[in-house]
Structure formats: C-alpha cells, structure tokens
Amino acid sequence: MKYGCQSMVDKITGIMIKHPNQAFKNQEHINQNYEGCKYYGIPDFQKCQEEYKVFEDILKENVENIYYLPEDDDTNLDSIYAHDSLKITKKGAIYFNMSKDVRKGEAKAAEKYLQSLGVPTLGYIEEPGRMEGGDVLWLGDNKVAIGLGYRTNEEGIRQFKELTKDFIDEVITVPLPHAVGFDEVLHLMSLISPVTDDLAVVYSKYMPIFFREMLIENGIELLEVDDDEYDYLGCNVLTLAPKVCVLIEGIPKIQKKLEDAGCKVYTYPGEEISIKGTGGATCFTSPIHREK
C-alpha cells in the first residue's frame, strides 16, 4: 500500500472518498440531520447520487486506486467531506480533532479503515488542540502552511509541528479572518488551491498580505477568483495531477483562466452535494498517495 501526500499538485495514485450512500444514507437521515450540520438547505438524496456519479467518474478516469470509506454510525452527513479529518504524510496519517461536534467521530472511522488498508498512524491532534484538513496546505515535500482560525487553533498547530519535526523543515502559520463568522466553513484552502508548483487559484481578499507576497516571491502565479464565483466555491479546486483539475459547474470565469493557463478542467454539478454543505471537489477527497 503506497501512502504519503506531502504535495497538493503531484499526481494522485490513491484516493479515499465517501459516497453519499454511506455518508447521507437516505433522505430521512438527511432530513433529520441537515440542521445540526448547519447546511444551507436540505439535500435531495437522489440528486446527490446523480451529481456524485459525475464527480466519481472523473476520479475513475484519472486515479488508479479509489478507496471508499464505509458507513459508520459515529459519523454524520459531513463525513462526505473526507478531506478534513486527517492528513497522510510519508510517515503515516495524522488524525485531527475537529471543531464541529457532529464531526468528532470522523477521524476514528477513517483511522479504522486506513489501518485495514495498511496505512500506519503517525499521531493525533488532541484536546485542547483543534485542526481540520482544509487548513493544512503543502507547499512542498518539507514545507507546509496551516491556517489559524475557528477550525484550527495554535495548540493544534503546535502538536502538528511536534509530530512532523523530523521531516518537515518549515511550518508557516497563516491567520484567517473572521469573515462572516464562526459557523462559516472557512479554511486556508478556501483561499488558495495550487494547480502546479508555480500556479494557484486564490481569493486574495481574505488572504494575509505576508502570505500573498510570499507566494509571489516564490514564483507562484495567482489566478484570482471574483467575489461572485468565490461564493460558489470558485476557490475550491481539486488538482489530480499538475494542470489537471476539478471544480464545480457554474464558475466560468475561473474555469477560463485555468484553461487559458493550459489546464485540463473537469466540472461536476454540485448544487446538492457541494453548495448546501459548503464543500467542494477538494473537500470530497482524502488523497492517500501522490507521486511525481
């Protein structure tokens, strides 16, 4: 079992996802839990299945090994967003203590499944530490940026540094804005999605100046997302391989910028599975292995 994902852009050869059949279960389960998960509306289960099939087919076309998280009674609707409960390093998986109470069981469920596949556990972010996968952005094999906000706190970052001190040279803390408040799902990766080592989709309005300038100084070209497309998850781009990416349908401006930059762009319909739960293409996936 190959594992290790200290990149956001190298080719994905193994990926873990959770199908809505296992995360949402059925319409009754959705109806009972969408408010507790703070969704913006009630997802239609049948439409979720139809939308997800488009996304899943894109993965099947591009990724050699796809692994499916099983149904678990200790997880809820948000477990469809498999990215947030962990990160897989070359030394094993780090499991996170997530902020939303309804998501507390996701890390344990993911660990049980990944251990069955042969992925070892490196460690855990434990109370009072908090961390979510959407805040952990690899900038290279030995360099990582971590968003500091309502989902990830200073203690979580300290624990992450301790767990990775033998193989990560630099951890950059990036303070996140209050924006529209605690209930909004704002991660560092809400503001930046790398598509190659020197190209990234960004929403600069919420980005700290030092971090934006650092990206530019490091030779990274920034493709800016407009306000209207940011609200429709325009900055949430899943990179399957350098310049091969996936984004939600309905954001033509950033899609054109990506295509003009030489990227192959896949799109999927996401009104039910993405917009109502505020989770885009990256959120659905937990890459297990990327290789250059």
Which CATH architecture does the domain made up of 11-291 adopt? Answer: 5-stranded Propeller (3.75)
pLDDT of residue 199 exceeding 80: yes
User: What's the pLDDT score for residue 5?
Assistant: 96
User: What's the pLDDT score for residue 197?
Assistant: 97
Q: What is the pLDDT of residues 95-107, one digit of tens each?
A: 999 999 999 999 9
Q: What angle do CA 189, 191, 197 make, to 5 degrees?
A: 70
pLDDT of residue 184 exceeding 90: no
Q: What is the mean pLDDT of residues 188-194?
A: 98
Q: What is the mean pLDDT of residues 240-256?
A: 98
User: What's the pLDDT score for residue 174?
Assistant: 98
Q: What is the mean pLDDT of residues 65-74?
A: 97
User: What's the pLDDT score for residue 181?
Assistant: 80
Q: What is the mean pLDDT of residues 53-72?
A: 98
* pLDDT tier at 185, thresholds 50, 70, 90: confident
User: What's the pLDDT score for residue 220?
Assistant: 98
User: What's the pLDDT score for residue 182?
Assistant: 78
Q: What percent of the chain has pLDDT over 70?
A: 100
Q: What is the mean pLDDT of residues 178-182?
A: 85
pLDDT of residue 278 exceeding 80: yes
User: What's the pLDDT score for residue 105?
Assistant: 97
User: What's the pLDDT score for residue 238?
Assistant: 98
* The three-state (H, E, C) secondary structure of the chain, written as one string: CCCECCCCCCEEEEEEECCHHHHCCCHHHHHHHCCCCCCCCCCCHHHHHHHHHHHHHHHHHHCCEEEECCCCCCCCHHHHCCCCCEEEECCEEEECCCCCHHHCCHHHHHHHHHHHHCCCEEEECCCCCCCCHHHEEEEECCEEEEEECCCCCHHHHHHHHHHHCCCCCEEEEEECCCCCCCCCCCCHHHCEEEEECCEEEECHHHCCHHHHHHHHHCCCEEEECCHHHHCCCCCCCEEEECCEEEEECCCHHHHHHHHHCCCEEEEECCHHHHHCCCCCCCCCEEEEEEEC
Model-level pTM?
A: 0.97
Asked if residues 151 and 187 have their Cβ atoms less than 8 Å apart, the reply is yes
Q: What is the mean pLDDT of residues 44-66?
A: 98
- HSE, side-chain direction, 13 A CA sphere, residue 67: 22
pLDDT of residue 180 exceeding 90: no
Q: What is the pLDDT of residues 117-150, one digit of tens each?
A: 999 999 999 999 999 999 999 999 999 999 999 9
User: What's the pLDDT score for residue 91?
Assistant: 98
Closest to 249 (Cα-Cα) out of 261, 238, 233: 233
Q: What is the pLDDT of residues 160-172, one digit of tens each?
A: 999 999 999 999 9
Q: What is the pLDDT of residues 14-34, one digit of tens each?
A: 999 999 999 999 999 999 999
Gyration radius (Cα) of the chain, Å: 17
Closest to 145 (Cα-Cα) out of 202, 214, 206, 85: 214
pLDDT of residue 183 exceeding 80: no
Q: What is the mean pLDDT of residues 29-44?
A: 97
